[in-house]
Amino acid sequence: MNKRSAVISGIGGYLPEYILTNKELERMVDTTDEWILERTGIRERRILKGENMGSSFMGAKAVNELFSKTNVNPKEIDLLICCTVTPDMLFPATANIIATEVGAVNAFSYDINAACSGFLYGLATASKFIESGMHQKVVVVGVDKMSSIIDYEDRATCIIFGDGASAVLLEADDNEGNGIIDYYFRSDAIGEKHLHMKAGGSRRPASIETVKNKEHFVYQEGKAVFKFAVTNMADAAFKVMQKNNLKAEDIAFLVPHQANKRIIDATAKRMGIGEEKVMMNIEKYGNTTAATIPLCLRDYEDQLKKGDNLILAAFGGGFTWGALYLKWNYDF
Ligand code: UT7
């Protein structure tokens, strides 16, 4: 009998309607459409507007789309994992809120915080629950409402982030050897000083002072983060290829975290693959943190074929980074 593996059997997603263009950002901060496009590859991003609308709102929309595309009954879901750094609140977990909202009444659920690598960590975690034989249907959601933690006066940071959500269904497969095959993940809190949120946690709870000092926004030293990202994301992708004896011609697509087109290009170059094999939607959505990778899979779903070799790669806050080797499981 073949080893049980966890395959992706469907994707859903949600993007808020409001489009924040580079042109609109030109009116908010000292920047230009040309600078943003050239330095990042981003033209526009989506923003979730409206009172009391958090990540769970977008996550539930993504999961509902997933259920309607796959015809899965929410009651069949055993586990729902939500990957996010912008939870609705510190607790309860956003996963708990989403699971109840979508009717996954027989599931247990929890959040994973691994910033831009969150979806990859969530996928690997979920795959182990399935491979163990304990669980049959697991949903992994990547969602972030980055606009809730962005200072729209900080031109170096506000231009790259956007809001969005996407979700995949993982199921067991005992036959064909598709699904999540391998991964290489790392983390190092050396990244804390370069990318963090100063207040709002147990070390520095919210106060009038923290609000006045803008300590509830993303603090990012872009250039330092860029340097780590550009080498580590490429290294991780290359390592996973080497470990699994994959050559450039064996790869159908690189599915990279969408933080900056220049980081993506460097990763593709290291892997020796051309741009026609790189999933890219940064132009439309910017950096939606935990949602970028599943949103790419959603946009390219109709180009994927059963048995395709995909390398998913990410780098983000923590630092956290890694790459995952996935064999696609269905034709669209
Ligand atoms: O996903 C989570 C992990 N995050 C990342 O992977 C982000 C990695 N970092 C980046 O993508 C890039 O560092 C940024 C896009 C954030 C910034 O681009 P950069 O090319 O690294 O710019 P920089 O910070 O080195 O700044 C270069 C120049 C500076 O001016 P001077 O000092 O050379 O005169 C900045 O003040 O560009 C200036 N600048 C801008 N100019 C116009 C910074 N932001 C802007 C802007 N518009 N929005």
Question: Could you identify the residue written with the tokens 């034709």?
Answer: 331
Catalytic option among 83, 116, 158, 296: 116
Instruction: Please report how many Cα atoms fall inside a 13 Å half-sphere around the Cα of residue 299, on the Cβ side.
Output: 19
| Nearest CA, atom 45, ligand 1 | 156
The CB density around residue 135, as the number of other CB atoms within 10 Å, is: 20
Nearest-10 crossing angle of helices 94-102, 55-70: 40
Gap from CA of 156 to ligand 1 centroid (Å): 5
Catalytic residue at 257?
yes
Contacts of 274 (CB under 8 A, 6+ apart): 268
Contact 85, 216 (CB under 8 A): no
- Is 287 noted as a catalytic residue in this protein? yes
Q: Say which residue the tokens 């975290």 belong to.
A: 257
Q: Structure pTM?
A: 0.97
Instruction: Return d(Cα 32, Cα 229) in angstroms, integer.
Output: 24
pLDDT given for residue 174 in this prediction:
85
Sign of CA dihedral 156, 199, 317, 127: negative
One-letter amino acid identity for 255?
Answer: V
Beta carbons within 8 Å of 325's beta carbon, 6+ residues apart: 180, 181, 182, 183, 240, 241, 244, 246, 309, 310, 311
For 194, other C-beta atoms within 10 Å of its C-beta total 18
Q: Is the CB of 267 under 6 A from ligand 1?
A: no
Can you give the pLDDT at residue 131?
Answer: 96
- Report the greatest alpha carbon distance in the chain: 62
* Residues 228, 293: Cα–Cα separation, whole Å: 19
Structure tokens at 256: 């990279």
| Distance spanning both ends of the chain, measured CA to CA | 28
pLDDT for 3: 82
Q: Which two tokens stand for residue 12?
A: 């859903």
Residues 314, 258: contact at Cβ < 8 Å? no
Residues of the chain short of pLDDT 50, as ranges, are: none
At residue 48, the pLDDT reads: 98
Helix (H) or strand (E) holding 231: helix 222-243
Instruction: Give yes or no for residue 229 CB within 6 A of ligand 1.
Output: yes
Whether residue 260 lies in the annotated active site: no
Whether ligand 1 lies within 6 angstroms of the CB of 127 is answered as no
For residue 314, give the 3-state DSSP assignment.
strand
From the candidates 22, 232, 260, 287, which is the catalytic residue?
Answer: 287
Ligand 1 centroid vs 223 CA: distance in angstroms? 6
Q: What is the predicted pLDDT for the residue at 2? A: 67
Would you state the structure tokens that stand for residue 2, as one six-digit string?
A: 């073949």
